[in-house]
Amino acid sequence: MILVTGGAGFIGANFVLDWLAASSEPIVNLDKLTYAGNLHNLQSVQADPRHIFVQGDIGDTALLNRLLAEHKPRAVVNFAAESHVDRSIHGPEDFIQTNIVGSFRLLEAVRAHWTALPEAERAAFRFLHVSTDEVYGSLAPSDPAFVETRSFEPNSPYSASKAASDHLVRAWHHTYGLPVLTTNCSNNYGPYHFPEKLIPLMIVNALAGKNLPVYGDGMQVRDWLYVKDHCSAIRRVLEAGTPGQTYNVGGWNEKPNIEIVHMVCSLLDELRPRTDGQSYKQQITFVKDRPGHDRRYAIDARKIERELGWKPAETFDTGIRKTVQWYLEHADWVASVQTGAYRDWVQTQYAVAEPQAVGAAA
């Protein structure tokens, strides 16, 4: 039995689905069901007795103690977080509460559980913390990609809160001996990605005939990884990672945002052409930049490849095609997540993002 937190969100839900497809080991899934958590993501395992869903907060110590005592997991995988940079700029409080205070409470509850285990189970126990490349800060165009030993230079409330949680995890290992593992991954994309993030937002806006809002000059670079590859990396680190170590996870797929948006438009032009025969690129609109926008992220994933033999299975071309196809086939899922709260967020974020130029981008 393993305990997963945040398993109703984008990456967590993909992890739960992949885990149950590949293993007979049950999962307890603790998720607060914030705006980003969605039980629709887990519909296919709703009746599966190996999946025990519990709605709750990682900051709730009494609930954590009860779940750990009742289910006695051999490992905890912590996905739960507030994850959207733009939301952290509008309102950092939830990020501090969940990503820092929540991670602290989870670590403390897990430490108490782990301390009381018999010797052999203590030795085998793992706490895996899922983190981000954003803790390392921003790269100049010619800088080498992030390695695990690089110092932290977080620039947004989101990345600062994740960096704080990474430090807590590290300290719980060095001070108390808790057998922790940390993964720092680059930008994910794929099924169940909430349409506040770049790729799903572009797909759903394009299909709805709306503008495709590209921040600033669109030349910010991200390093994209198909979500199922991130999940396979986490499984591999859980299985064979060395306690106390961190592992960078990435797809060697650095691309400027505008190129990503063009690729999404070209795929939609092919798979669901506009009725007027024009390209979806006509809908691209350059808008005001994100404050403090990190210019470039890139992951050096050689350590996880060398030490644990992990490599991504998808290229960007294969992964993005699967992703666009998934959104075309799951209009019901898209509609189900576009609640009033979603529409309020879009209004808050994009009503203030004045267009700099409207129309087709070359």
Binding region for ligand DAU (CB under 6 A) = 83-85, 132-134, 186-187, 197-198, 201, 213-215, 220, 222, 257, 290, 297
Contact residue for ligand NAD among 103, 132, 211, 323 (CB under 6 A): 132
* Cα 47 from Cα 39, distance rounded (Å): 12
* Residues with catalytic function: 133-134, 158
- Gap between the Cα atoms of 167 and 164, Å rounded: 5
The residues near 125 (Cβ < 8 Å, ≥ 6 apart) are: 74, 75, 114, 117, 179
Rounded CA separation 64/58 (Å): 7
Residues 6 or more apart whose Cβ sits within 8 Å of residue 351: none
Q: Using CB distances below 5 to 8 A depending on partner kind, what does residue 178 bind out of ligand DAU, ligand NAD, none?
A: none
- Which of 2, 16, 36, 109 binds ligand NAD (CB under 6 A)? It is 36
- Determine, following the binding rule CB under 6 A, whether residue 34 of this chain makes contact with ligand NAD: yes
Number of residues that bind ligand NAD (CB under 6 A): 32
235 makes contact with ligand NAD (CB under 6 A): no
Nearest to ligand DAU of 83, 183 (CB atom) = 83
Q: Which is nearer to ligand NAD, 98 or 283 (CB)?
A: 98
**Interface residues for ligand NAD in 91-130 (CB under 6 A)?**
98, 102, 130
32 binds ligand NAD (CB under 6 A): yes
CB of 8 to ligand NAD, least distance (A): 4
Note the residues at the interface with ligand NAD (CB under 6 A). 5-6, 8-12, 30-34, 36-37, 57-59, 79-83, 98, 102, 130-132, 162, 185, 187-188, 194
